[in-house]
Amino acid sequence: MSHYPHPIIAREGWPFVAISIAAAVAATIWGGWGWSAGCWLVAIFVLQFFRDPPRKIPPEQESVLSPADGRIVVVERTRDPYLQREALKISVFMNVFNAHSNRSPADGEVREVWYHEGKFVNAALSKASSENERNALWIRTAEGVDITCVQVAGLIARRILCYVKAGDKLARGQRYGFIRFGSRVDLYLPLSAIPKVSVGDKVHATASVLAALG
């Protein structure tokens, strides 16, 4: 899978951007600025939601990068339900004002992909990890470290997009998916990993380091 070029506005959003701007222009032509103000606000919201800015990758190869923009809502020891192991879990919650492009947290090979249908409860809640619609990647680094990266749909999010399959190679910061309109990403790391974030911290995809691999 090649690196996705960054055109500022994510390709997933092009139809939504075109429709919202066309509707705002039509409302302006037919009803004037007074009637079209709401349409232009919607168009601006759609533009900011689907922004996909390029990010600088931290140089530390042993670091685990944030797979998403948002706020840290979980840093805890728990059970990895996909690899059936005890793990360090770090979760990033994305609200509707965050960029929703998902990036690989580490260099590695995708060993398996699991998709589960589910509910659409608030993604900030802990039960969203096990009850909501979700898509999980098992990534194994060249050093043999296993990382589970899970896209989780939210209350408004109704579409998880993942562009990789088992056998694909991912590079740190490489774009691999997108979730529309509010969601979260869960990372399950080895217990030897050292967390570099705390609950409440704001993070940015690729640019922020979530943990160091021990």
| Residue 70: alpha-carbon gap to chain centroid | 9
Catalytic residues: 183
Reduced to 3 states (helix: H, G, I; strand: E, B; else coil), residue 22 is helix
Strand 183-189's sheet: what is its strand order?
169-170, 108-116, 134-140, 146-153, 183-189, 85-94, 70-80, 202-203
How far is the CA of 130 from the CAs of 52, 56, 114, 138, 162, in angstroms?
28, 32, 13, 17, 19
| Residue 50: alpha-carbon gap to chain centroid | 12
Can you read off the two tokens belonging to residue 21? 């701007």
Residue whose pair of structure tokens reads 């608030």 in the numeric block? 122
